[in-house]
Structure formats: C-alpha cells, structure tokens
Chains A and B, each alone.
Chain A
Amino acid sequence: MKKYKVFSLLLIVAFLLAACGPAAPKTIKIGINAPLTGDIPKVGEGTKYAAEMWLEDIDAAGGLDVGGTKYKVELVIEDNESKADSAVKANTKMITQDDVLIIVGPQSSKQAVPAGEVANNNETPMISPWSTNPKTTLDRPWVFRGCFLDPFQGPVIANFASEEFGFTKAAVLYDVASDYPKGLAEFFKAAWEELHGEGSVVAYESFTTKDTDFSAQLTKIKNSGAEFIFTPQYYNEVALIVQQAHELGWTGPIMGSDSWGSTETVKLCGPDCYGLFFSTHYAAAGATGATKEFIDRYNAKYGYVPDDVGALTWDAMNIAKQAIQDCGKITGDLKADRKCVRDALASIKNFHGITGDMTFTEDGDPIKCAVIVRISDAGEYEFYKQVCP
C-alpha cells in the first residue's frame, strides 16, 4: 500500500514537472469527429481507418516535422452517433477539454453544419472531408471542407457532355420534391444553357418522390430530340429510370451525379446501367499513382476497397498536416497556433490529394476537380476522366 502511495506521488510530481516544462508541447492533438455508431457506421469506420492509417505514416517517420522539430501526433477520436447534437457535443469536448489543434470531420452535412458553428465560434480550424452542403463553410472563416460543393457538379456534367460527345441538346429528369436533385437539376440547366444557348435543354421533366412510373416523361424526352439524359437521383430511382428508358427504346447516354455512387445502384440496375457516366469525388477501379497506393494499402489492411469517405478523410488528414507544417512552428499557445493553422489552411495552393488537386478559397472551399466515373461492363466504378472547374 505504501509503495503505491509513493508511486502515485512520484507520478504527480512527474506530471507537475511535465506541465511546468518547456512551453511548446511535444505532441499535437488532432480531433476526429466521426459517426462510429448510428445510421451510417460504415462512414465512421472508413473515417477512423483512414485516419489511423495516416497516423501510422507519421509514427513511422518519427513524428510530424514542424519547422525542424518532430512532434508526436495524437488522434482524439470522438463518436458523433450520426446525430447533430452529439456532433456538437463532440466538437465542444475536443476543443475545450482535449485542446486539439484542428478537427477533421464530421462527415455528413447534417452534423457538419451545426458542428462547424461550434468550431467557428471557438476559433478552432475544422475540415469536413465529405460535407457538400454550402452552409457548412458559409460565413465561417474557421471551417473548411475537402470536397466540392453541390453547385459545382451541374457545370461538371454539362462540360463533360459537351466536350466528350459534342452534344448540344440535353434532357433533365429529376425529383422536384427533394432538395439535392432539384438543386443539381437547376445548376445543370443553367450551365448547359450558358454553353449552348436558351432552349438547349429540350426536355426538363420532373416527378415527385416515390413515383415509380416515368414512362410519360421518358416518352416526351425521347421525342424531344435530346441527345442524353441527366438525372441526379438516388440509386433506386436511377434503376427505375434507366430500365424504363431502355425499355422504351432510349439508346443514348444517361448521366448522373455523386448520388449514384452507392454500390446499390449497380445491384438494382444490373446490366442496364453498364456504360453510363456520373460525376463523383473519386473512382476506386482503375485508379493510378498515389490513389491506387492508398486503395491497395487500405484493402490489404482492412479487407475492402475504401469508398469516397475514406479517400476524402485521407486527403483531409494530409491537408491538416500540410497546414500545420506550413505554419512553421508550434508555440504552445493554443489560440495563436490554431490561428496560424487556419491561415495556413486558407492559403494552401495546389495540394496534391488522392481525390484530386485542391486550392482553398477564403470561404474554406477547395477549388477541385471532379471525377467522371464510367460504370464498367463488370459493374465496377471505373475512372474515366477528370473535369476541372
């Protein structure tokens, strides 16, 4: 018993000494706000795995080199249960109790929008790898993201269809009662008409959520002389639309957006979807260079091909790393260090990520290329082309 007392006393002394020691700490803490449980645990798992793999590299290099000094990096991983209030709580805890330098996450806009408010109010830099909603970073100088925004994809598909196929007449079919497809359809229409003039979207047809029969709309599209269909829908509607279009004799291309990216799309749609294109963040099949390295390493370590969340988290971790390194030194004054990292983040130019090159705007959004994926004849999502803003 006495021994323990002496031991704990020694420990306390050691801690006190450590606290009074040099002003600059030898560890850097990075917060991870991820949905480890809840509706989308797979997203949380991808986040955690990518971050841990990143930490391995840092540890292997003997720490993170900032201005000639090596710092040990510690990850503080908090579960946000895929809930908005838990994400806010997790951010508050990491900022005020764990003293993290920077936060990576949350992933979904549902959590990233409210959690971003906390980070911004507490003047702590935050990077959401996956949130595409404009509100996440809007008027928040401390909040950044690792992916493009919803309004960007419309022009991406418009440019791709014009340049790749030389099309001039487009048709759009979208769900008028759902925010994401409606927004994208409008952005696409505006971009297309800017390229090809008023009236070049020859059919602009819509339906409402839970409709299953699109024959009338598709007949109109077919008779309108459109050369391709743009339909920014979710997987089950994609299957219905593509299959019905083919049954009605439509032979042209059908294109979509990152909502097609679920593996469910091909499962439901089958061979009907083979050969179609959509825009997204990254393509696993046919990746090259650093992207392929990441995929292979992840696959070997965890036993499955990472989805876009894993890849975007990997990039966000490396963006954080670069910002810390660009900062030049860690003073130990958390407030000043956080400010320094934020400023470094905002001035990152030409960052080479595995999901593409990025340059950050003052709003915290990257100027970034999108990937056009072709669904291969084996039903895999194959890299086809990069489209840049």
Chain B
Amino acid sequence: MRQRFQDIDYLGVVLWLLRTGIIILVIWGSVATIIQNPYSSKTWMDFIVFGVAQGSLYALIAIGYTLVYGVLFMINFAHSEFFMSGIFTATILLANPMKASGFLDSHPFVGLGLITITAIIVSVAIALLTERVAYRPLRKAPRLVPLITAIGASFFWQYFFRGLFGSEVKPFPQIEGLIGKIPFLGTEILINQVVVIVVAIIMLIGLYIFVMKTKIGKSIRAVAEDKDTAALMGIDVDRAISITFAMGAAMAGIAGVLYAMVFRQVHFFMGFIPGIKAFTAAVLGGIGSIPGAAVGGFFLGMFESVGPSLFLQGLGIPAPHQLKDVIAFTMLVLVLIFRPQGILGERLAEKKA
C-alpha cells in the first residue's frame, strides 16, 4: 500500500485533472448551449463559414512555418513579415494608384492578378534574401541561434517597411465583383470568403502535389530526411532549401492578398497576429506536415469562430467572443496533451531529433 502511494506521479495527476477539467467544461458548456439553443441553424452555419474562411488564411500562412521546420528544424519567426511585405508593397505601389486612376474599377480581375503577382514576387524576394543573408551562414550553428536570428529578422523587416511606407494604416481598395453574397446550404456566403476558401484549398492541394510528385519536391523531402545523405546523392541542398523558403513565402504572399481583400487595410505590423495564429495552427496540425498545417489552420479557425458561442454561451458567460483566443489556445493545449505531435504530426522520436 505504502509502495503504491510513492509510485503516484504528481505531474501525471495534475495533467489528468487538467485534461478532465477542460473536457468537462467543454462538454458541459456545449450541452448547456445546445439546450438553450440561442441561435438558429443558419447562424451556426454562418459561424462555421467564418471559421473556415479565417482558417484558410491561417492554413496558407502555416504552410510556410511547417515547410521550413520540416527541412531545417527551425521556427522561422520572420515568416509573418514575408506575409506582410508582399501585400504592403503591392498596396502602396499598385493597388491604391490603380484605384485612383480608375483602372482597378474597370479591370478588377486584371488588377487583382497584378497585385497578386507583385505580392508573391516581393514576398519571395524577401524570403530568399533573409534565407541567404541571415539563415544560411548559421545552418551549422546550434538550433537556438537561427531562432533568435529569425526574431531579429522579423523586427528588421517590420521596421524596414515602416520606414519605407510609413506607420499609418493604409486602406486597400474594394475590388468590384467581389462584393455581395451567394446562397449556400440554406445560408448566404460572402463572395470574398468563397474566394478565400477556394483559393486556399487549390493552393494547398497544388503544393502537396508539387512536394509529393515532382522531382524538386522529392529533393526537398530528401533534404528534410537527411541533408548529408541527400548531398551525397547529388542533391543541391542549398537550392532545395531556397525553394522551400520560396514556396512558403509565395503562399504567404497569396494569403496577404486574400487578407487585404477581406479586411481592406494593411500596415507594417499586420503580420504579427496572423503569424502567431498560423504558427499555432502549424503546431496544432503537427509541425512538419503539410496536410497537418492545413488541418490545423481550419481547426483553429473553427475553434475561434464557433468555440466561444458553443462552449461558453451555455456557461452563462456574456460576450464570449473576446475570449476566442483563450478558446483557441486551450484547444491547442488539449490537443497537445493527448497528441504531443499534433493532429497529423509524425512522432519525432521515430524520425530524428
């Protein structure tokens, strides 16, 4: 008997209490909400659509974190600045002048195409430059060193673009043809949200196919598996890593355009919050895994949008949406307690690390 008491692992008990507590709260809140039934099914549907649209953005940005982590085992905190730089530049140099001259109104899709291309080019250029100057010389350094460098690079780009374009919030013009709603499953979806979701899904699938089916994709996976062996097999490791960065940044550039389209404003600090959320999504889905980043993004978006109403309304908490970040990160903790490798992540112990 005495022996058994000594065997009790106190940390284990605390963790067990924690996860049971969270689960009870979530179930209790959800059941209470469902019983009270404060919203129609149409409203729930709306919440789900908002969540999926927001989640698509997170997923697109999360890809960048996951790709770089998969290849370099490094968390690239400057990724949120790749997201910001493209659309910030495109807005100042292209979108607002085009709006002022009337070109954007007469050719909305040509204009949007030009904006997207510019955003991608700038994002990719910034990413390649950062990789070449700040990360490549440190590739053999201990893991903490590139991490701190990434934080420094993030600050550098933020203030670089603040110096370049100013610290004010800049408007992003409304694109004609993306205004309005279309009917969908008994509710209506905003056209710009449809565009966000569709573009994100196409890009994610395209990227997955690129990595899995093409020769370049294979070289990236080989480098991710083992850099030295890949180099022995004749793979240009530097090139594979550069391509990885470029792909992540291109996704971030597209995400930037979609973000500006929905929220219609840009500024030098706009990358910070989406960046943190996308990183969370990448961890939630299993960092290093491309489908994981996508799934993590959609889950996080859903938790944020449906969670406050579903889990907290029933507990009698007023105005629960201010707590959406709490919900999102509680869910992250919960998922990581049960699956430390994330929803779709591989066990690191099996592979490397």
Name A residues whose Cβ lies closer than 8 Å to a Cβ of B: 176-177, 204-208, 210-213, 215-217, 219-220, 223, 235-236, 239-240, 243, 247-249, 264, 267-268, 270
Q: Are B50 and A216 in contact, CB atoms less than 8 angstroms apart?
A: yes
B277–chain A nearest beta-carbon distance, Å: 11
Known A210-B273, A216-B47: A268·B265 in contact at CB below 8 Å: yes
Q: Which of A208, A220, A236 contacts B322 (CB under 8 A)? A: A208
- Nearest chain B residue, comparing its CB with the CB of A215: B50
Name B residues whose Cβ lies closer than 8 Å to a Cβ of A: 39-40, 43, 46-47, 50, 54, 168-169, 171, 174, 179, 181, 190, 192, 262-265, 267, 272-273, 305, 308-309, 318-319, 321-322, 324-325
- Nearest chain B residue, comparing its CB with the CB of A176: B322
A121 and B272 alpha carbons, distance in the complex (Å): 45
Known A216-B50, A216-B308: A204·B43 in contact at CB below 8 Å: no
Q: Which of B43, B171, B265, B305 contacts A223 (CB under 8 A)? A: B43
A282 and B68 alpha carbons, distance in the complex (Å): 54
- Main SS class of interface, B: helix
- Main SS class of interface, A: helix
Q: Are A264 and B264 in contact, CB atoms less than 8 angstroms apart?
A: no
Q: Which of A206, A213, A219, A223 contacts B54 (CB under 8 A)? A: A213
- Nearest chain A residue, comparing its CB with the CB of B51: A216
- Nearest chain B residue, comparing its CB with the CB of A239: B265
Q: In the complex, which residues of chain A have a beta carbon less than 8 angstroms from the beta carbon of B39?
A: 220, 223
Q: Which of B171, B192, B305 contacts A268 (CB under 8 A)? A: B171
Q: Are A219 and B47 in contact, CB atoms less than 8 angstroms apart?
A: yes
Known A243-B264, A247-B190, A249-B181: A205·B319 in contact at CB below 8 Å: yes
Q: In the complex, which residues of chain A have a beta carbon less than 8 angstroms from the beta carbon of B325?
A: 208
21 contacts between A and B (CB under 8 A): A176-B322, A177-B322, A204-B318, A205-B321, A213-B50, A213-B262, A215-B46, A216-B305, A217-B321, A219-B50, A220-B39, A235-B169, A236-B265, A236-B267, A239-B171, A240-B263, A264-B168, A264-B169, A268-B169, A268-B264, A270-B171
- Nearest chain A residue, comparing its CB with the CB of B262: A213
A216 and B309 alpha carbons, distance in the complex (Å): 9
A219 and B45 alpha carbons, distance in the complex (Å): 11
Counting from the closest, the 4 A-B pairs by CB-CB distance are A206-B322, A215-B50, A236-B169, A206-B319
A235 and B305 alpha carbons, distance in the complex (Å): 24
A204–chain B nearest beta-carbon distance, Å: 6
- Nearest chain A residue, comparing its CB with the CB of B263: A212
Q: Which of B47, B171, B308 contacts A267 (CB under 8 A)? A: B171
Q: In the complex, which residues of chain A have a beta carbon less than 8 angstroms from the beta carbon of B47?
A: 216, 219
Q: In the complex, which residues of chain B have a beta carbon less than 8 angstroms from the beta carbon of A236?
A: 169, 265, 267
Q: Are A240 and B265 in contact, CB atoms less than 8 angstroms apart?
A: yes
A307 and B50 alpha carbons, distance in the complex (Å): 39
Q: In the complex, which residues of chain A have a beta carbon less than 8 angstroms from the beta carbon of B46?
A: 215, 219
Q: In the complex, which residues of chain A have a beta carbon less than 8 angstroms from the beta carbon of B179?
A: 247
Q: In the complex, which residues of chain B have a beta carbon less than 8 angstroms from the beta carbon of A239?
A: 169, 171, 264-265
A215 and B308 alpha carbons, distance in the complex (Å): 13
- Nearest chain B residue, comparing its CB with the CB of A236: B169
A268 and B262 alpha carbons, distance in the complex (Å): 14
Q: In the complex, which residues of chain A have a beta carbon less than 8 angstroms from the beta carbon of B265?
A: 236, 239-240, 268
B257–chain A nearest beta-carbon distance, Å: 15
Q: In the complex, which residues of chain B have a beta carbon less than 8 angstroms from the beta carbon of A220?
A: 39, 43, 309
A205 and B308 alpha carbons, distance in the complex (Å): 12
Q: In the complex, which residues of chain B have a beta carbon less than 8 angstroms from the beta carbon of A207?
A: 321-322
A235 and B171 alpha carbons, distance in the complex (Å): 11
Q: In the complex, which residues of chain B have a beta carbon less than 8 angstroms from the beta carbon of A211?
A: 324
Q: In the complex, which residues of chain A have a beta carbon less than 8 angstroms from the beta carbon of B168?
A: 264
Q: In the complex, which residues of chain A have a beta carbon less than 8 angstroms from the beta carbon of B308?
A: 216
B340–chain A nearest beta-carbon distance, Å: 29
B170–chain A nearest beta-carbon distance, Å: 8
- Nearest chain A residue, comparing its CB with the CB of B323: A208
A236 and B264 alpha carbons, distance in the complex (Å): 10
